[in-house]
Homo-oligomer: A and B are copies of this chain.
Amino acid sequence: MAQRHLDPTNPMAGPAPTGDALAGYLRAQATEFLRALRLHRETGSGANGSEGSVDAARALRRSARRISASLHTFQSLLDPDWCEAMRPELAWVSGTLAMEHAYTARLERLLSALHRLSGSTAFPAQSGPAAGSRAAGAAPVPKTAAPKAGAQPNPSATQERGNLTVGAAKAGALLDRQLTLARTRAHSTALQALGSSRFHAVADKVAVLASEVPLTTTAAGTDLRPLATAAEERLRDAVSALPLVTAGSPYNAAALVHGLSPDTVPHPQDAPWHQVRLLLRLHRYAREAVRGEPNGDAVVDLRLLSAGQALNRHRDASEAAAAAAQAARTPRIAPATAYALGVLHADQRHEVEAARFAFQQCWQKEVVRTQ
């Protein structure tokens, strides 16, 4: 770690950023939060949410996550009572706003996988009973199938022995119904939340934060970097506890172990990976604060970005697999539907394994580079 100060590309190098830099970062995030909130109110919030309101909700979540993360990492530089009151409220805001998007993305992922597995360019569910509910719910659905490798669709064959393709179509319609319903509920919940007095109290506190950051008296002279380094160490510790040797060995089949056991939804083996995903985010935001770059995209660390993307993919596939397993428990479904959901579940668990492999590859590169 001592060598880092000699590395000009290292974010931890240069003149010591102190509490003032943290205050600047927090003010910028608070301003962004208020801007996104104004935008969200202007772009409307109907169930058929416009592109603008989706962007605004994303920007709200983005700044809420960064403020919350900074309160966690740089806690010792901030008023403790204020921190303690603020953090759960910010988590509630970003968590509530995230649900609608999560259901949309999950449905899109599952339907896209069904396309690929069916090898059909025209997925029957799109013109079937599901189409109506999707029009009402406005879920973005990929227009064409995207087979991963050399698929040769054979549309003429879908007419004969169509048992399993009909199964895939029914599975798609079932998932569409269930996830669209869940998303519609999440949308209502988010709207209610945004109109609640609880949210107004959060927004008021963020408005104050935009001009006045409650630093401790010693914060202005305190170096941020040891705290950011501690966040990085927490990430490294959590990563070192992951089964990376297994993850780095392709086709280890670990993600599908217990795929048919009754307590796989959610899958307990995924938890440490989800935890690393959160710690990686804390590490990334701490770097932003230290570098004084509230707009994180300005300097992208590609390695860190890829590792984060792998963990996002891990989380998404894990939740999609759970949704497929959950849908298979719907009473009175046809065996062909259940079969298709079984294939889909295993496919997404395979994606979970692939994401772990991708993370391991990113992480190995990083270790080689920094050693």
Considering the chains assembled together, what is the distance between the CA atoms of A158 and B339 in angstroms? 21
How many identical chains are in the complex? 2
A246 near B342 with CB under 8 A, answer no
B261 near A154 with CB under 8 A, answer yes
A340 near B165 with CB under 8 A, answer no
B residues less than 8 Å from A261 (CB atoms): 117-120, 153-154, 157-158, 164-165
Considering the chains assembled together, what is the distance between the CA atoms of A158 and B264 in angstroms? 11
B residues less than 8 Å from A251 (CB atoms): 250-251, 350-351, 353-354, 357
Considering the chains assembled together, what is the distance between the CA atoms of A118 and B260 in angstroms? 5
B117 near A260 with CB under 8 A, answer yes
Does A262 make an interface contact (CB < 8 A)?
A: yes
Does A369 make an interface contact (CB < 8 A)?
A: no
Residues of A233-259 contacting chain B, CB below 8 A: 243, 246, 250-254, 256-259
Does A143 make an interface contact (CB < 8 A)?
A: no
Please pick, from B160, B257, B341, B354, the residue contacting A116 in the complex, using a CB distance under 8 A. Answer: B257
B residues less than 8 Å from A344 (CB atoms): 342
Considering the chains assembled together, what is the distance between the CA atoms of A160 and B262 in angstroms? 8
Does A218 make an interface contact (CB < 8 A)?
A: no
Considering the chains assembled together, what is the distance between the CA atoms of A118 and B254 in angstroms? 13
Please pick, from B147, B164, B257, B334, the residue contacting A151 in the complex, using a CB distance under 8 A. Answer: B257
Please pick, from B252, B259, B351, the residue contacting A343 in the complex, using a CB distance under 8 A. Answer: B259
A257 near B117 with CB under 8 A, answer yes
Stretch at the interface among A34-42, A94-102, A184-192, A325-333: A325-333
Please pick, from B333, B342, B357, the residue contacting A340 in the complex, using a CB distance under 8 A. Answer: B342
Considering the chains assembled together, what is the distance between the CA atoms of A153 and B264 in angstroms? 11
B147 near A260 with CB under 8 A, answer no
B residues less than 8 Å from A164 (CB atoms): 260-262, 264, 325, 328
Assess A246 versus B163: contact at CB under 8 Å? Given A117-B258, A346-B343, A346-B346. no
A257 near B119 with CB under 8 A, answer yes
B342 near A162 with CB under 8 A, answer no
B263 near A154 with CB under 8 A, answer yes
Considering the chains assembled together, what is the distance between the CA atoms of A150 and B252 in angstroms? 11
Assess A257 versus B147: contact at CB under 8 Å? Given A154-B263, A165-B262, A263-B157. yes
B260 near A354 with CB under 8 A, answer no
Interface centre among A152, A243, A338 (most CB of B within 10 A): A338
Does A337 make an interface contact (CB < 8 A)?
A: yes
Does A114 make an interface contact (CB < 8 A)?
A: yes
Considering the chains assembled together, what is the distance between the CA atoms of A340 and B333 in angstroms? 14
Residues of A116-130 contacting chain B, CB below 8 A: 116-120
Considering the chains assembled together, what is the distance between the CA atoms of A256 and B329 in angstroms? 23
Assess A246 versus B150: contact at CB under 8 Å? Given A158-B261, A262-B165, A354-B251. yes
B154 near A252 with CB under 8 A, answer no
Does A316 make an interface contact (CB < 8 A)?
A: no
Does A148 make an interface contact (CB < 8 A)?
A: yes
Does A167 make an interface contact (CB < 8 A)?
A: yes
Q: Offer 11 A-B interface pairs, CB within 8 angstroms, sorted by A.
A: A114-B260, A117-B256, A157-B262, A163-B329, A164-B261, A251-B353, A251-B354, A253-B347, A328-B335, A339-B341, A341-B342
Using a CB–CB distance below 8 Å, which chain A residues touch chain B? 114, 116-120, 147-154, 157-158, 160-165, 167-168, 243, 246, 250-254, 256-264, 268-269, 325, 328-329, 333-347, 350-351, 353-354, 357
Please list the 10 inter-chain residue pairs (A to B) with the smallest Cβ-Cβ separation, ordered nearest first. A342-B342, A346-B346, A250-B250, A251-B354, A335-B338, A149-B254, A119-B258, A339-B342, A119-B261, A338-B339
